[in-house]
Amino acid sequence: MITPAATATALTTGQAAARLAEFTVVDVRSPGEFSGGHLPGAHNVPLERLDEAADTLAAAAARGPLLLVCASGNRSAKGCARLAARNVAAATLDGGTSAWAAAG
């Protein structure tokens, strides 16, 4: 179970891949980065628009766990912290989409 915390739960690519079907995947990169490739089923909500989407993301989190991703894990960790401040739990992908691509 993922709970809101000051420090986001970071999942390895293996952990995320094994549970991918459980997650609503939210890619916090820019639309340009997102169009260059993303995790299967990911929704693009750029970090600067995360607060606007907080209610929608809270509703998604009520249905199942959220996984935030970005290129390296830095922006997604910031996004997790912003959501945690609203009592919305989310995990981050350790190493981001770069690690995902490297893992094959």
CATH code assigned at 87: 3.40.250.10
Whether 96 shows a pLDDT value over 60: the answer reads yes
* 44 part of a folded domain: yes
Confidence of residue 6 (pLDDT cuts 50, 70, 90): low
Which H or E element spans position 29?
none
For residue 73, pLDDT over 80 is answered with yes
Q: What is the mean pLDDT of residues 3-32?
A: 88
Helices (H), the chain: 13-19, 31-35, 54-63, 74-84, 96-103
Q: List pLDDT tens digits, range 18-72.
A: 999 999 999 999 999 999 999 999 999 999 999 999 999 999 999 999 999 999 9
Residue 4 belongs to some domain of the structure: no
Domain count, the chain: 1
CA-nearest of 76, 57, 66 to 24 is 66
Domain-embedded: residue 3: no
Please report how many Cα atoms fall inside a 13 Å half-sphere around the Cα of residue 86, on the Cβ side.
Answer: 18
16 closest CA partner among 102, 104, 91? 91
Question: How many other CB atoms are found less than 10 A from the CB of residue 4?
Answer: 17
Structure tokens at 101: 């691509």
The pLDDT value recorded for residue 42 is 97
Range of the domain at 83: 9-103
Asked whether residue 82 is domain-assigned, the answer is yes
pLDDT given at position 78:
95
